[in-house]
Amino acid sequence: MEFNIERLKPLAEEMSMIIRQELEGKEGYTERAIENEIRKQLLELGRQTFGMVLSQSDGVAEREIPCQCGGTLRYQRRRSAQVISLFDRVEYQRNYYAGCPCGHGKAPLDERLGLQPNQVTSGLASLLGMAGIELAFDYASGWLAPFLLFEVSENTIRKETQGYGELQIEREEAWIRQSQDPAYLQVRLRTEQEKPKRVYGSIDGAHVRIEERSKAETTPEKWREMKVCCWYRVERVPKNQHTKRHQQKAVIGHQALRAQDMRYFCDIAEVDDFEPLFWATSCQVKADLAEEVVFVCDGAKWIWRLVETYYPQSVQILDWFHAEERLERVANDLFQPDQAKSWLKDVLTAMWEGDTCFVIKACEILSVKSVIAAQALTYFRNNAHRMQYDVFRLKGYMIGSGTVESGCKQIVTQRLKRSGAQWNLQGARLTAKARAAWLSSDWGNLCSRRDQLPLAV
């Protein structure tokens, strides 16, 4: 909607007169007092205006309209209702129909505008959801109050936030059904025009404390793994955008690369249950149609099992920083600081140049003295074919899985592990899925889906 500024001037002049009258006689008032008074008046103006606009948006009442059951509804009266909006509670009037033997009534205006009496409007719901995916629900309630100029309960923020998580689950279930339909996949393969050249994927997990409060639950507290998948593309960073960190990495042969168009998906589920979501989301980003798919992940067996199952021909890269961390633990476990530094420099140089045999041999020699070295030996043997870092760098691949590491931190650490946070399983899943949609720049799609929700009968 576009507004004519000139048409608003008389209203602004009248508002300014009202504000001056309100402040008359108050000594020493500041610009802050003026701002707050304007905001309060505008909130009340918005509340009244919204109610009037809604009340005036109904059409001419008809004597009869069809009922959803196939029967007939008859006009009863203008009936009042309330919604909780960006302007607090707003009351409006609309035509109401009833009298069908099925017992259902209907307000066409509610249906047309997507209004749910005594519920939050979609505009306010979006703000509550954004607060809920970022802040603890009880904290978000107090944090929002100075902005909204009215209070919204912790439970309402939780309900709206997790409602977006439910919408995301509905989308994912639809994607899963599509991805398992051979006819759909074949048509898509023939008709899709834009096929990406290279798609990256990274998978990881982070643990969340779950406290089920059921009396039947024998272990009231347990840690569950939130599996996170990130799909993205990679581009070179132009020289004029190089940071000091990029310049330092260039000295040792790192290319300045950055991830773009990150899309995060997550769930608390066993691997077999997470597998359909992994495949479905890969189809959503067209990884199945890409000329090349590159996975950069940690060495967890469940991760590479997924990759091998669905993308056996993909480029598989063991995340450099996890490999480096393994070697650092070995060095710190067996050597004094100076010796550790020298040993680490040699094995990291060899690994950087793709000499995996040297790394494995170095760990093998130490494995008889250290459990950590023995574990590292198994780790590098299992992932030797994913450690051709010299080849990967030559081909311009990203070799670090920082995108999914960031996703785990932003979804799990920063939100689900906030101080004092307590989650049941479904609450953690829904909040995480809503937050993942926000991090994927997909919040607008969830808001559109909420706008289209059918009214409760």
- pLDDT score of 456: 42
* Contact (Cβ atoms closer than 8 angstroms) between residue 339 and residue 330: no
Tokens linked to 6: 């000139």
Biggest CA-to-CA distance, the chain: 92
Which residues are within 8 A (CB) of 306 and not within 5 positions of it... i.e. 6 or more apart? 203, 271, 274, 275, 278
Successive 10-residue mean pLDDT values, the chain, 457 residues: 76 88 79 89 94 94 94 95 97 96 94 92 96 95 96 96 97 97 93 93 96 62 92 89 65 76 97 97 97 96 96 97 96 94 96 96 95 97 96 94 94 91 93 98 94 58
The amino acid that residue 452 corresponds to is Q
User: Which phi and psi (to 5°) does residue 68 adopt?
Assistant: -65, -20
Q: At what angle do helices 425-439 and 443-451 cross, to 10 degrees?
A: 110
* Contact (Cβ atoms closer than 8 angstroms) between residue 367 and residue 377: yes
* Contact (Cβ atoms closer than 8 angstroms) between residue 229 and residue 300: no
* Contact (Cβ atoms closer than 8 angstroms) between residue 179 and residue 279: yes
- pLDDT score of 92: 97
* Contact (Cβ atoms closer than 8 angstroms) between residue 148 and residue 125: no
DSSP string covering 67-104: -TTSSEEEEEEEEEEEEEEBTEEEEEEEEEEE--TT--
* Contact (Cβ atoms closer than 8 angstroms) between residue 45 and residue 15: yes
Q: Are strands 64-66 and 257-268 parallel, antiparallel or unpaired?
A: unpaired
CA distance 414 to 438: 14
Which of these, 308, 282, 278, lies nearest to 385 by C-alpha position?
A: 308
* Contact (Cβ atoms closer than 8 angstroms) between residue 271 and residue 302: yes
Which of these, 372, 188, 395, 418, lies nearest to 282 by C-alpha position?
A: 188
Which of these, 202, 173, 180, lies nearest to 300 by C-alpha position?
A: 202
Q: Which long-range contacts (CB under 8 A, 24 or more apart) does 364-372 make?
A: 366/330, 366/334, 369/334, 370/330, 370/333, 370/334, 372/329, 372/330, 372/333
CA distance 313 to 98: 62
**Residue 259, helix vs strand vs coil:** strand
* Segments making up each domain of the chain, as ranges: 31-119, 153-317+406-457, 320-399
CA distance 191 to 162: 36
Q: In this structure, is the dihedral angle defined by the CA atoms of residues 430, 435, 437 and 442, taken in order, positive or negative?
A: positive
CA distance 41 to 188: 55
